[in-house]
Structure 1
Amino acid sequence: MSSIRLFILSSFAELGPMHGHRLRQEAERKRVPFWTDIPVGAVYGAMNRLAAEGLLREAGREQEGNRPTRQLYEITEDGRHALARLRHDGLTEIWFKYDPFDLALTRVDTAKLDELPALLADRLARMKAQLEERRRMIEQALPFIGVAEEWAVRHTAHRMEAEVQYLTDLITALPNLIADERNPRPRKEKP
């Protein structure tokens, strides 16, 4: 599932032919980096890839004033089929990435176990600060976004809330974790 492909193809399907700069402006106007993993500057390269794949095609050229001539693109029929698949996949696939934190936790330096409570407390404090910042950003954005976009930005906040709860629970369990790391209990081998 590619967020940037979904954004670009859906923008062309909705807005019609346009040049890359207009697409970038649309991404900025819709505050796409706020609720997706799309860096606004990446739209140009992604547009070129979509055109090379036949999902976009040149639709003419445009010149405004003294500005350089800009190439206009439009979505193709193949692009519309790809868009339909991306929309479906985006709503049905579960997107989950493992956090390197989990591996680091299982590979903690036993010589530095006394540092673990402070490290986790700091991580929790930073996570809470990020969550509060996210909540402020959502409140500021609400007058400018639709209901679907509101729920999209709230999704990240809900995930952050779960991370705060996880870290809180982990800190509570730290005495047992540290004791187990210092004196590991025997583990059964899989047959």
Structure 2
Amino acid sequence: MMILGLVRWMQPVHGYDVRRELLSWSADKWANVQPGSIYHALRKLTDEGLLRAVSTEQVGARPARTTYEVTAKGVDEFESLLRAQWWQLHEVPDPFVAAFSFLPAMPRDEAAAALRNRANLIRAGIESMRASLESDWVRNSKPVHVGWMFELWLARAEADMAWCGRIAERIESGVSYLPASIEQAAEWSEWKGRAAARDNNAK
């Protein structure tokens, strides 16, 4: 979607300029668009009939550059992908959630410390985003709606950071993680015993 949209916006356009524009948006960080995959994606979209190669030219010893335009089929595909993202809710897999589901396997002290460290890392990211909004933003005349995206990221990051602090406090308070029926199960008692032994060894 990102590449189709940019070609449609900038056409006719070289792959180099598409890559440069995406990197200027930091799309490699928030849209999972890897710089090394952009030229491959352009060729693949061309093979699928979504883009057309208008011309290829070479200046001196520089690598040849192909100019692209979007086809009518590509316009339809872009608009379909665009609306799918606007009108549907997509959950992004987060490895941390998978790890957090095994919270009882972590010693309490380590789990609380890890959450506080996560909060500190998020805080550093928030400060970096705010610095971008306050300085680089105006200098580079970024579109207003991109600033609104930063507001969304900041709100999510602040909520995540606050959650880490709350859960760390609950863990440190000694609150039980599991319902009584699971707490009393033989399997859990054995697991808890091993975890307690690790805690004692760590101390």
Which residue of 1 is the match for residue 193 of structure 2? Answer: none
The 1:110–1:80 alpha-carbon spacing in structure 2 relative to 1, beyond 3 Å, is closer
Q: Residue type matched to 2:129 in 1?
A: R
Which residue of 2 is the match for residue 128 of structure 1? Answer: 123
The number of residue pairs the alignment matches comes to 180
CA distance in 2, matches of 1:110, 1:8: 43
Pick from 4, 10, 18 the counterpart of residue 15 of structure 1.
10
Q: Residue type matched to 2:126 in 1?
A: L
Which residue of 2 is the match for residue 101 of structure 1? Answer: 96
Secondary structure of the 1:88 match is: helix
Q: Please give the root-mean-square deviation of Cα atoms over the aligned residues, in Å.
A: 2.3
Q: Residue type matched to 2:169 in 1?
A: T
Q: Residue type matched to 1:9 in 2?
A: L
**Where does the alignment leave 5 or more consecutive residues of structure 2 unmatched?**
183-203
Question: Scaled by the length of structure 1, what TM-score is found?
Answer: 0.81
Which residue of 2 is the match for residue 89 of structure 1? Answer: 84
Q: Residue type matched to 2:45 in 1?
A: L
Per-residue displacement from partner, 1:118-146 (whole Å, max 9, x unpaired)? 22221211221222122212323321211
Summarize the alignment of residues 28-67 of structure 1 with structure 2, pairs less than 5 Å apart: 28-33=23-28, 35-67=30-62
Q: Residue type matched to 2:148 in 1?
A: W
Which residue of 2 is the match for residue 173 of structure 1? Answer: 170
Q: Does 1:79 align with 2:74?
A: yes
**Where does the alignment leave 5 or more consecutive residues of structure 1 unmatched?**
1-5
Question: Scaled by the length of structure 2, what TM-score is found?
Answer: 0.77
Rg comparison, structure with higher value = 2
Between 1:127-136 and 1:109-118, the stretch displaced more is 109-118
Q: Does 1:156 align with 2:117?
A: no
Q: Percent of pairs identical after alignment?
A: 26
Q: Shift of the alpha carbon at 1:67?
A: 2.4
Q: Residue type matched to 2:43 in 1?
A: N
Q: Shift of the alpha carbon at 1:170?
A: 1.1
